[in-house]
Amino acid sequence: PWLVQTSDLAVTYPNGHQALYPTSLTIYPGEILVLLGASGAGKSTLLRSLNGLVRPSEGEIILSDIGRPQRDKRVLREHRRKTGMVFQQHHLIGRLTVLANVLLGRVATRGNWRSLFPWSREDKLEALAVLDRVGLVDKALVRADALSGGQQQRVGIARALIQKPRLMLADEPVASLDPVTAESVLTLLHDICKTDHLTAVVSLHQIEFAKKFADRIIGLSHGTVVFEGKPDALGDDA
């Protein structure tokens, strides 16, 4: 069984820069797939094209159960609703509370944000429950910009979790954190994915983290896949 396939997916940006050369890959349910590569390798481009944040210029994305998002807007909407995104710069709204930031993850599932206000008791309880999972329920009413970088990234994970995603896309989620905090955030993300049988695609540039947290690694260089395999198959000098 597989969840997502890409068939010769390629991205050329409007300025003519080809960031991803035709790439065919399969994402399996429940796996943590790490995209490993240096800055500029095309990790973010591939990751963003997986949920339509970047428009592929060639090739196709196929979802085993719901279909082809490039061909059908309804499929794209359903796919996005079921896909959680975690960003390097977490994109929290600093002057809102942690709780409000997590609740904003609901916008992705409900579409129309006006229908969300006022927040229902059920939504608030759900937000507290996901904050509890990332160890921050005691910070629910604190302004987001009062948290440390690692805590903010945990809130970013909680905001994705409130969508009840089946696929998690994390674009360099720990690139702006110190190594110890980075490892703790990746451990949390790993444990949540395994507990929930959540499929995750995570881009990283540190080989040690890729080896520790990936079930499978895809190495990218200059927009091309240069490695695909289990962490053990990746030499220390790679």
Residues near ligand ADP, by CB under 6 A = 13, 15, 17, 19, 37, 39-45, 88
The residue among 47 and 140 lying less far from ligand ADP, judged by its C-beta, is 47
Query: What's the closest the beta carbon of residue 142 comes to ligand ADP, in angstroms?
Result: 26
Determine which helix (DSSP H) or strand (DSSP E) holds 167, and give its type and residue range.
strand 167-171
The residue among 37 and 219 lying less far from ligand ADP, judged by its C-beta, is 37
Dist CA 81 CA 221 (whole Å) = 30
Query: What's the closest the beta carbon of residue 43 comes to ligand ADP, in angstroms?
Result: 4
**Residue sitting closest to ligand ADP (CB):** 44
Q: How many CB atoms lie within 10 A of CB 179?
A: 11
Alpha carbon distances (Å) from 156 to 16, 140, 161, 201: 33, 13, 9, 15
The residue among 9 and 136 lying less far from ligand ADP, judged by its C-beta, is 9
| Dihedral (CA of 52, 58, 63, 69) sign | positive
Query: What's the closest the beta carbon of residue 44 comes to ligand ADP, in angstroms?
Result: 3
Q: Do residues 167 and 82 touch, judged by C-beta distance below 8 A?
A: yes
Give the pair of three-digit tokens for residue 81: 């609703």
Query: What's the closest the beta carbon of residue 232 comes to ligand ADP, in angstroms?
Result: 23
Query: What's the closest the beta carbon of residue 89 comes to ligand ADP, in angstroms?
Result: 7
The residue among 34 and 131 lying less far from ligand ADP, judged by its C-beta, is 34
Alpha carbon distances (Å) from 160 to 7, 43, 87, 144, 198: 27, 20, 10, 16, 12
Query: What's the closest the beta carbon of residue 49 comes to ligand ADP, in angstroms?
Result: 9
What's phi and psi for 105, nearest 5 deg?
Answer: -60, -25
The residue among 4 and 35 lying less far from ligand ADP, judged by its C-beta, is 35
Q: Do residues 232 and 217 touch, judged by C-beta distance below 8 A?
A: no
The residue among 23 and 45 lying less far from ligand ADP, judged by its C-beta, is 45
